[in-house]
Structure 1
Amino acid sequence: MNIFGIGLPEMALIMMVALLVFGPKKLPEIGRSLGKALKGFQDASREFEDEFKKEAARIEKTVAEPIKATLEKPEPKALNPDAEETLASDTVSATTEETA
């Protein structure tokens, strides 16, 4: 059994020192809170991993689908009255300049 590079003899020594430092009444509470903290960390890690996998699958699906290109039909231009007057005046001024 090798946890974090610590073997069974080292783990037993650590437990004996912790028992001497904290006492037999406080040690179960410390172990319980440490276990809850590790479980919370594992849950957060698992949730992050799941979200990462979902997002990677969504991106992969988006990249794998071919892009559908469609052309939009041009909308008929509605000329406003001011635009017609400008076009007419430009045409008239151009023809008068050519004749002069």
Structure 2
Amino acid sequence: MIQSIGVPGLIIILVIALILFGPSKLPQLGRAVGQTLKEFKASTKDVVDDVSGEFKEVKEEFTSTENKKEESAKK
């Protein structure tokens, strides 16, 4: 999403932010945005890890069930 903005778009956004918040507030604003993005990334990673773990467990369970069925069919 951010990649599609491009350099001119980023410059326009920075100029608007400078006008709205003033030069003294920009570092605080940047810090807050950075922390928010960091927390969002961490939360997203946690969710992805949880879901991946669940899928792995289901896959292992399915595989073991299939193996048991194949062994039963051979007998």
Aligned-pair identity in percent equals: 33
Greater RCO, 1 or 2 (C-alpha within 8 Å, sep 6+) = 2
Match of 2:39 in 1: 40
Consecutive unaligned residues of structure 1, counting only runs of 5 or more, are 69-100
How many residue pairs match? The answer is 67
Distance in 1, Cα, partners of 2:2 & 2:44: 19
Consecutive unaligned residues of structure 2, counting only runs of 5 or more, are 70-75
Computed over aligned residues only, the root mean square deviation of the Cα atoms, in angstroms, reads 1.8
CA shift, 1:4, in A, is: 4.9
SS where residue 4 of structure 2 aligns? coil
SS where residue 65 of structure 1 aligns? helix
Moved segments of 4+, more than 3 Å: none
CA shift, 1:10, in A, is: 1.2
Structure number having the greater helix percentage: 2
Q: Which has the larger radius of gyration?
A: 1
Counterpart mapping for 1:44-83 below 5 A? 44-66=43-65, 67=68
Is structure 2 residue 9 aligned with structure 1 residue 10?
yes
Match of 2:73 in 1: none
SS where residue 25 of structure 1 aligns? coil
Give the TM-score taking structure 2 as reference length.
Answer: 0.80
Distance in 2, Cα, partners of 1:59 & 1:3: 35
Give the TM-score taking structure 1 as reference length.
Answer: 0.61
